[in-house]
Amino acid sequence: MAPSSALKTFSGTAERLGTDVIETDLSSLPERLAALADTRPEWSVRVSQELGRLLPELGSLCRGTATWPEVMVGLGRYAVVETGSVVVAEPSYGDRLAALLCLHHVVVVPEAALVASREESVPRLRELISREQARYVSFISGPSRTSDIERVLTIGAHGPMNLTIIFVDGWDAHAA
Amino acid sequence: MQLEPFRVRYRRALDDEQLRRNLLVFQRRWRSARAATLEGVDFPAAQSHLRDVKARVIDKSAEYLAQFVAAAEANGATVTFAAGPEDAIRAIVSLAEARGAGQIVKSKSMLSEEIDLNHGLEAVGLTVVETDLGEWLVQLAGERPSHMTAPAIHMNRFQTAALLQAFADESLGGDDIAQQVLVARAALRERFLAGEIGISGANILVAETGSAVLVTNEGNAELVTSIPPIHVVLAGVEKVVSTFEDAAEVLDLLAPSSTAQRATSYVSWITGPSAPNGELHFVLVDNGRSAMRESALFADALRCIRCGACSNICPSYGVVGGHVFGYIYSGAIGLVNTPFHHGIEHADGPQSLCVQCNACQTVCPVDIPLPRQILEVRAWAAREEGGNRIERAALSLWARPRMFRGAARVGSVVQRPFTRDEFVEPPFLGRLTSWRKLPAIARRPFRDRWPVACERLPGSLGTLLDGITVAYFVQCLTDWVYPAMGEAISEVLQSLGAEVVFPRGQHCCGLPAADGGYPNRARAMAKSTIRTLEASAADYIVTGGTSCAVAVLHHYPDLFADEPEWQMRARSIAGRFMDLTTFLTTVARLPAGALTVEDGEEAAYHYFCQSYNVLGFRDEPDFLLGRVCGLGMQPLPEATVCCGFGGSTSFTRPDISKGILERKLESVQTAGVGLLVTDNPGCIMHLRGGLAAAGSSIQVKHTGEVLADRIRRLKATTHS
């Protein structure tokens, strides 16, 4: 699958799950993130240590002093087209908790890190867990949800109410 | 916590109209959502693939477990094996005491329900809060989950609002589900942050890396396993798979089968303690699983991935829900594993509600032979608990052909004062007959009417079966209640040119006894059937009793598992044995348009559940009725769902039978046709009785009767 058509398929699946999908390039990324954060100026924003290490220019987005920010921006390691999932493995414990407790989770992922299926993602998962020794890896497919009352779908159970995935074209996170 | 006695739970559920509506909405939504999610997926192929993955787990469990333990310990986790509930609870209590922890938060774990963990922890003064919304609602109500993945599905929005009101500032009307979820979110957020120990289950344990995989939508498991510094994973030993590849296979079918999603919102892979100075402890529980592994038949149930599909598809579950259809584990799997985890006495009542429609196995992502296992539990319960006395007496009579025939003939006379039209209405059978009319025994059974004289159709149709001899296996109901149906079927066969013979000694194939949990009696009847049919040299043995075909083709090999000689003889009979629809479409190969009479008549087709689920009927009925006979076929909603007859269930559990029938009749009304066609005399009796009691004029006919009717009209046109 060509990268652009893979992204299109991913977006279709992810959007049906309630995820917002944005495509941008490295130079426009800070601007796109700032615009996103400015939709709710009263909310605190934090960028994960791992993402900040790779892209120091995003540090200026951080604001507020809340223990648990409303907006948490983190790094996606890869994304799975088939299921519309993004895979996160923040090494910082605080960042991982913040991503669970925030209202809006924003995940930035290299567009090149799209894989077709869960099956094809296995080698990457093995690399994350066995080689990098990532202790907590999550596949996230949409905002937190529940259907426990009458099997009626409701968004925003215990985790984030909103999920945005930003694909960055031409960014090689490994080389950074 | 002991559940109340079965009969108490059963009666209460039957009296709960609200429950029935909740369940019906739930099951219908699931059916359509699952179909949409699996569109384009070769489910049977995926199913057999995953079956093999999980079967390896059972074969090599010691090896995988050892690998898992070594990997988990290398990651800094501890692993404790618990033989039963006491060991598991003690391990967690000791941990809490050693760490001075009193606040426990939990995400969903069926195993914790199985061992009644919460009460064990509360008994020593620990506070336990369930954080999955459904589990929390059930905890607030002081109940048990009624479904493995949708614990509170027996409640409606007003009932849940009442439970959540104590945590809300505003008044919860009930209509706004989103508002209720927000209330739960705020209330539980505090509990998460106060948690000192987090207990989760595990959907999968991966031997390769010692990882636990958790599958959720709400994100509560992520919070439970991240915020408290101590994380306990409580899981059954059967949850271990070998590799990430195997785990991915489980994930591919778990969400589609449980919540009908391609993927849940969260799938987390936890490999070793992840909080700073955190701890990770695995408590792996056996509690009867080793005994299951020892059994050739029940070992297969260890493949279960706890998706709940067997509840979602089950018509009996749809009537009474998981507090009745099951014990701690609900649905078909609950009928099967309860004897091993909780004792046969708790499985006896629930197993009696299974109608053996076989739908559960068709949707089970690991292809567990649930219907067969339930029959085995039924036989086990009959041995241990005595079974149903009336059923036993009836089957005992049924097993003696000569006495049965005598009784049926006496009955056909005795019933006369109570007989109106084709129905018998004895005043003393209230609960059995107020909602369905029972048919009268025929004055002359089919066997007294044979031979049925009949000429061939003119032209090429009359030679379709030229030179082929067919032995007609009439089936009990057809013989004694609906002999005209038998005449119609033999007319169809003769009209197409077959030479039809009627082996005189035939009696029941044994299916009612097998279904009732009396395998010895079933074997005796099967042997007598095999002997009678062996005596006939006919090319084919054809029946209009599709359930008999299921018995001969699918039950006989199991019944004779320990008698190889009889198994061989049964297989040889099965090679010639066919239901009418299969015979007409694969041997006679009736061409499209052959029996078309342009009269604009419309009909709908109800699949006898086992025709669809066991024999694999798909387009054949539509072809015969629509293309061959020219009927205007209208879609019947939920056409493959059981009608509720369910063999003996119809008499031993009439309320279940009635509940399922009501759902079916609603679908029939929706189809808006005057004629309902199906393939099995049991369904026909049940549907005719239900429609007549409801005052409906809709007719119910056997496929063979529809064909015979067309043939008679074609012959009449050629003669005039």
Supply B289's token pair: 């699983």
pLDDT > 90: percent of chain B: 89
DSSP B613: I
A156–B181 CB contact, under 8 Å: yes
User: Å from B292 to nearest chain A CA?
Assistant: 31
Phi, psi of B561 (to 5 degrees): -55, -30
Give the residue-averaged pLDDT of A46-57.
97
A138 lies within 8 A of chain B by CB: yes
- CA B28 to CA B312: how far, in whole Å? 9
Q: Classify residue B554 by burial, with Cβ atoms within 10 Å: 0-12, 13-18, 19+.
A: middle
DSSP A22: E
Question: CA distances (Å), B221 to each of A136, B150, B268, B643, in order?
Answer: 12, 15, 9, 40
Give tens-digit pLDDT for B299-337.
Answer: 999 999 999 999 999 999 999 999 999 999 999 999 999
- Residue A159 pLDDT grade (very low, low, confident, very high; cuts 50, 70, 90): very high
Give tens-digit pLDDT for B471-523.
Answer: 999 999 999 999 999 999 999 999 999 999 999 999 999 999 999 999 999 99
Residue B368 has pLDDT above 80, yes or no: yes
Instruction: Name the pairing type of β-strands B469-473 and B438-439.
Output: unpaired
- Residue B720 pLDDT grade (very low, low, confident, very high; cuts 50, 70, 90): low
Interface of A with B in 87-116 (CB under 8 A): 93, 96-97, 100-101
pLDDT at residue B427 in the model: 67
B265–A140 CB contact, under 8 Å: yes
Rg of chain A over Cα atoms, rounded to whole angstroms, equals: 15
pLDDT at residue B412 in the model: 83
Average pLDDT, chain B: 95
Tokens 């409640």 correspond to what residue? B155
- Axis-axis angle for helices B43-59, B61-74 (nearest 10): 80
Chain A residues with CB-CB distance to B267 below 8 A: 85, 138-139, 141
Asked if A146 contacts B181 with a C-beta cutoff of 8 angstroms, the reply is yes
The SS3 assignment for A162 reads: strand
A119–B134 CB contact, under 8 Å: no
Least confident stretch, B11-20, B412-421, B444-453, B703-712 = B412-421
Residue B663 has pLDDT above 80, yes or no: yes
B155 lies within 8 A of chain A by CB: yes
pLDDT at residue A2 in the model: 61
B211 lies within 8 A of chain A by CB: yes
Residue A14 has pLDDT above 70, yes or no: yes
Consecutive H or E run containing B130 = strand B127-130
Chain B residues with CB-CB distance to A85 below 8 A: 263, 267
Give tens-digit pLDDT for B165-184.
Answer: 999 999 998 889 999 999 99
- CA B250 to CA B269: how far, in whole Å? 14
Least confident stretch, A150-159, B99-108, B117-126 = A150-159
Q: Which residues contact B7 (CB under 8 A, 6 or more apart)?
A: B349
Asked if B499 contacts B468 with a C-beta cutoff of 8 angstroms, the reply is yes
pLDDT at residue A175 in the model: 57
Least confident stretch, A19-33, B157-171, B368-382, B419-433 = B419-433
- Residue B386 pLDDT grade (very low, low, confident, very high; cuts 50, 70, 90): confident
pLDDT at residue B410 in the model: 83
Chain B residues with CB-CB distance to A134 below 8 A: 271
Asked if B507 contacts B529 with a C-beta cutoff of 8 angstroms, the reply is yes
Asked if B603 contacts B676 with a C-beta cutoff of 8 angstroms, the reply is yes
What residues does A63 pair with on adjacent strands?
A: A45
DSSP string, B626-685: IIIT--EEPP-TTTTS--S-TTTHHHHSHHHHHHHHHHHHHHHHHHT-SEEEES-HHHHH
Q: How many CB atoms lie within 10 A of CB A29?
A: 19
Give Cα A134 to chain centroid, integer Å.
16
DSSP A63: B
Closest chain B CA to residue A131:
B209
Q: Classify residue B7 by burial, with Cβ atoms within 10 Å: 0-12, 13-18, 19+.
A: exposed
Asked if A75 contacts A51 with a C-beta cutoff of 8 angstroms, the reply is yes
Residue type, B643: C
User: Å from A41 to nearest chain B CA?
Assistant: 23
A74 lies within 8 A of chain B by CB: no
Phi, psi of B39 (to 5 degrees): -60, 130
Residue B147 has pLDDT above 60, yes or no: yes
Asked if B95 contacts B232 with a C-beta cutoff of 8 angstroms, the reply is yes
Chain A residues with CB-CB distance to B75 below 8 A: 135
Chain B residues with CB-CB distance to A87 below 8 A: none
Size of interface A-B (CB pairs under 8 A): 164
Asked if B304 contacts B340 with a C-beta cutoff of 8 angstroms, the reply is no
Consecutive H or E run containing B679 = none
- CA B406 to CA B409: how far, in whole Å? 5
Sign (positive/negative) of CA torsion A125, A128, A134, A140? Answer: negative
Give the residue-averaged pLDDT of B109-129.
97
Q: CA triplet B612, B615, B616: central angle to 5 degrees? A: 55
Residue of A133, A138, A150 lying closest to B22 (CB–CB): A150
pLDDT at residue B709 in the model: 97
pLDDT at residue B428 in the model: 66
pLDDT at residue B93 in the model: 98
- CA B459 to CA B359: how far, in whole Å? 42
Question: CA distances (Å), B639 to each of B271, B642, B663, B664, in order?
Answer: 46, 8, 11, 8
pLDDT at residue B393 in the model: 78
Q: Is B470 left (phi over 0), alpha (psi -120 to 50) or beta?
A: beta
User: Å from B238 to nearest chain A CA?
Assistant: 22
DSSP B614: I
Give tens-digit pLDDT for B215-233.
Answer: 999 999 999 999 999 999 9
- CA B304 to CA B364: how far, in whole Å? 8
Q: Give the count of alpha carbons within 13 A of B617, CB side only.
A: 30
Chain A residues with CB-CB distance to B245 below 8 A: 119, 122
User: Å from A14 to nearest chain B CA?
Assistant: 11
pLDDT at residue B414 in the model: 80
Give Cα A16 to chain centroid, integer Å.
16
DSSP A66: -
Residue of B22, B156, B218 lying closest to A158 (CB–CB): B218
Tokens 């031979």 correspond to what residue? B451
Consecutive H or E run containing A167 = strand A162-169
Question: Which pairs with CB-CB distance under 8 Å and at least 24 residues apart come from B527-533?
Answer: B527/B566, B528/B401, B529/B573, B530/B556, B530/B566, B530/B569, B530/B570, B530/B573, B531/B505, B532/B503, B532/B505, B532/B506, B532/B507, B533/B471, B533/B473, B533/B503, B533/B506, B533/B573, B533/B576, B533/B577
B177–A150 CB contact, under 8 Å: yes
- CA B506 to CA B356: how far, in whole Å? 24
What residues does B701 pair with on adjacent strands?
A: B677
Tokens 């000791």 correspond to what residue? B94
Asked if B534 contacts B569 with a C-beta cutoff of 8 angstroms, the reply is yes
The SS3 assignment for A152 reads: coil
Residue of B153, B182, B270 lying closest to A151 (CB–CB): B153
The ipTM assigned to this model is: 0.98
Asked if B607 contacts B676 with a C-beta cutoff of 8 angstroms, the reply is no
pLDDT at residue B413 in the model: 83
Residue of B177, B265, B268 lying closest to A149 (CB–CB): B177
Give tens-digit pLDDT for B25-72.
Answer: 999 999 999 999 999 999 999 999 999 999 999 999 999 999 999 999
Q: How many CB atoms lie within 10 A of CB B694?
A: 16
B219 lies within 8 A of chain A by CB: yes
- CA B195 to CA B127: how far, in whole Å? 10
A68 lies within 8 A of chain B by CB: no
Least confident stretch, A110-119, B68-77, B244-253, B426-435 = B426-435
Among A49, A128, A151, A155, which would you mutate to test the B interface (most chain B Cβ atoms within 10 Å of its Cβ)? A151
Supply B132's token pair: 């999955």
Residue of B182, B208, B270 lying closest to A136 (CB–CB): B270
Residue A1 has pLDDT above 60, yes or no: no
pLDDT at residue A8 in the model: 97
Question: CA distances (Å), A150 to each of A39, A146, B178, B184, in order?
Answer: 33, 10, 12, 16
A143–B265 CB contact, under 8 Å: yes
Residue type, A11: S
Among A102, A120, A150, A155, which would you mutate to test the B interface (most chain B Cβ atoms within 10 Å of its Cβ)? A150
Asked if B197 contacts B103 with a C-beta cutoff of 8 angstroms, the reply is yes
Sign (positive/negative) of CA torsion A111, A117, A118, A124? Answer: negative
Interface of B with A in 29-58 (CB under 8 A): 29-30
Question: CA distances (Å), B339 to each of A54, B78, B377, in order?
Answer: 56, 30, 8
Rg of chain B over Cα atoms, rounded to whole angstroms, equals: 28
Chain A residues with CB-CB distance to B259 below 8 A: 147
Interface of B with A in 554-593 (CB under 8 A): none
User: Å from A92 to nearest chain B CA?
Assistant: 9
CA dihedral B578, B583, B586, B592 (to 10 degrees): -160
Q: Give the count of alpha carbons within 13 A of B553, CB side only.
A: 20
Q: Is the peptide bond before B451 cis (omega within 30 degrees of 0)?
A: yes
End-to-end CA distance of chain B: 77
Chain A residues with CB-CB distance to B226 below 8 A: 93, 96-97, 100, 136
Residue type, A174: H
DSSP B205: E
Closest chain B CA to residue A130:
B209
Supply B407's token pair: 């009784």
Residue type, B172: L
